[in-house]
Amino acid sequence: MTDIAIAARPRRARVIINKKIAPYIFLLPFLLLFAIFLIVPLAYALNLSVYRSALVGGLRFVWFDNYKRAFTDANFWSGVWTLFKFGILQIPVMLILSLIFALILDSGVAYARAFFRISFFIPYAVPAVIATLLWGYMYGPAYGPFAQLAGVLHLAKPDFFNDSSIIPAIANIATWEYMGYNMIIYFAALQAIPMDLEEASVMDGASAFTFAFRIKLPMIVPTIIVTIIFSIIGSLQLFTEPYLLINLARNTINSHFTPNLYAYTLAFIGQQYNYAAAISFVLGGVVAIVSYVFMLAANRRVSE
């Protein structure tokens, strides 16, 4: 039908876009918005970060003073340290679970695989706000099911909100939310590996899970690296979960618990937009460096 339409009106004046300019026209709407809501705000924030507002004299150009302050700000680095502890715990636990379940689902050594695949993914559809709210209730010392169970068994009530337990408590929420998402990505990568390899190994008598582990796992290493990088980026931006748990864990979660929380507090409670902008750029630098170093290390490993 479309062919006829093209053939039937060959002479109608139509703006035929040149092959050379066409890509720019296709890109235009996206890039326009990209510029307005990404490039311009970033440039603006960069500009903000080299000024300081003083009570007397208003805005003053201060070069890199805000950055100097950030580099020596104990509040900022304690937030980075929290993220480090969080990431080093949460990312491996989550991704190893994702990988094990993806391998089990892919190698077929379990029943009801489609059911498990879909249900593990469901938490991804639950907004982080609601996931935090649900776990927050369940962690509750007065009425949470864990506290209730401990009461029935005459055990000490678990405290999810003290200094040593708050990071695992948040890590648990994040794992609950994103394990299935990463599992689906691994599963898809495993499924994309051609079948003939598999048939060959069955004839060799290799058991299905060993085969998956020894032969298929190394083949999805690039996918694993990408998920690790995305998890690092996600972890370094931790905000929603601790922000909502503040009311439950007043003694452990302070206003600079994570760098994003700190920047938010500085900007929207302290009105220190300039310093907050500098903080978020330093955090962006940390994200870029960590991702880059990891990528370098991973590439070296792979090429060896």
Partner 1 sequence: MTIVGKTNQSARFRRSRWLMTLLLGLYFVYTFVPIWYVITSSTKTNPDLFTSFGLWFASDFHLWQNLYDLFTIQHGIFRIWLWNTFYYSLVSGLGAAVFATMAGYAFAKYEFFGKKFVFALVLGAVMIPQTALVIPIFLLLSKVGLLNTPFAVILPQLVFPFGVFLMRAYIDEAISDEIIDAGRVDGAGEFHIFSNLGFRLLMPGITTVFILAFVASWNNYFLPLVVLNSTEHFPVTVGLAQWYASAVSGSGGALLFTVVMAGALVSILPVIIAFLIMQRFWQGGLSAGGVKA
Q: Which of residues 262-301 bind partner 1 (CB under 8 A)?
A: 263-264, 267-268, 273, 276-277, 279-281, 283-284, 287-288, 291
83 is an interface residue for partner 1 by CB under 8 A: no
Q: Which of 132, 124, 234 is nearest to 185 (CA)?
A: 124
Q: Give the DSSP H/E element, type plus range, for residue 149.
A: helix 145-152
What token pair was written down for 237? 């931006």
**Of residues 34 and 63, the one with the C-beta less far from partner 1:** 34
Residue with tokens 């991804």: 124
Stretch 147-186 residues interacting with partner 1 (CB under 8 A): 148, 176, 180-181, 184-186
Among residue numbers 91 through 110, which ones bind partner 1 (CB under 8 A)? 97, 101, 104-110
* Touching partner 1, residues 199-228 (CB under 8 A): 199, 202, 207-209, 222-223, 226-227
Q: Are 125 and 206 in contact (CB under 8 A)?
A: no
- Per the CB < 8 A criterion, the answer to whether 91 and 98 are in contact is no
Min dist CB 101 to partner 1, Å, is 7
- Which parts of 116-145 interact with partner 1 (CB under 8 A)? 116, 118-131, 133-138, 142-145
- Cβ neighbours, 10 Å, residue 130: 11
In the complex with partner 1, the residue whose CB is nearer, 54 or 110, is 110
Shortest Cβ distance from residue 69 to partner 1 (Å)? 17
**Which segment (38-46, 52-60, 81-89, 157-165) binds partner 1 by CB under 8 A?**
38-46
Buried/exposed code over 42-69 (b: 16+ C-beta within 10 A; e: otherwise): eeebeebbbbbeeeeeeeeebeebbbee
* Number of residues near partner 1 (by CB under 8 A): 115
Residue 12 binds partner 1, judged by CB under 8 A = no
Whether the CB-CB separation of 71 and 282 falls below 8 Å is answered with yes
Residues 6+ apart with CB under 8 A from 235: 83, 86, 87, 90, 91, 174
**What mask of x and - would describe binding to partner 1 in positions 243 to 262, judged by CB under 8 A?**
-x--xx----------xx--
Residue ranges in 45-74 that form contacts with partner 1 under rule CB under 8 A: 45, 48
